[in-house]
Amino acid sequence: MRLVTLAALLAISIGGSCAASDSSKFEIYVVKLSSVELSEKKVAIDPSPAPTDLNEVVIDNGCGAFHAKFEVLATVRGSHRGSISVEGGIGEWCRLPFSASLLPQVLWVLPEGRWSHLQLAMPAHEVRPSQYAIVPDTEVPCVEVKSKDAWTLMPEPIYLGGSATLSSITIDYLRNVDALLEKDEDFYAQRAVILTTSSAAGCSNNRWSGR
């Protein structure tokens, strides 16, 4: 009896992931959202017959795609520009992979022609005029966050949320780098990672496998 091969290809569009991306091409910007357009997922059916010796199941639980424009507040790594156009996929829960608010955020993108492809986004905190910091809960491309020396004491603690907001893994990570400040049932970051052009200096020699 002939063995039938079942190939299951799972395509999940999550904006914060990029498997084995070449980190030397990453550009990093602190931005503020200007506009966003959403596109529904279109199901395409391949009319060509499948090979007789292969059954292929393709599963795509992505929700669609987005095209967004951002005002650039600061350039951490990449060409200096006033705005940036970014595109990417929307995952299975139909949530944008970046914040839809007007608060500052940091984008890691891979440029390709007119549009850049979003790889990762996280909140940016303005600690001083035109100086921004991040509070990552794991490693991020190009920026050193594992060492305690990479974390700077903040003038004011950064509110992270209540006791139900952070996972135990995040809490342990932030405690490890002496960044976590706990008040009753609220969590704050007493330390954060300042974003500067020099903070991404080691990017070209490393590869990032995603979150």
Taking only the tens place, the pLDDT of each residue in 13-29 is: 333 343 345 667 899 99
- CA-based nearest residue to 84, from 123, 27, 24, 167: 27
Tens-digit pLDDT profile for residues 133-159: 999 999 899 999 989 999 999 999 999
Q: Which amino acid is at 6?
A: L
Beta bridge partners of 118: 109
Tens-digit pLDDT profile for residues 166-196: 999 999 999 999 999 999 889 999 999 999 8
Cα 17 to Cα 97: distance, rounded to the nearest angstrom: 10
Structure tokens at 41: 């997922």
pTM: 0.76
**What's the pLDDT score for residue 54?**
61
Backbone angles phi, psi at 150, to 5 degrees: -80, -15
Structure tokens at 195: 């974003």
How many residues in the chain? 211
Contact 70, 103 (CB under 8 A): no
**What's the pLDDT score for residue 113?**
85
Cα 3 to Cα 58: distance, rounded to the nearest angstrom: 20
Cα 130 to Cα 124: distance, rounded to the nearest angstrom: 11
What is the chain's Cα-based Rg? Answer: 20
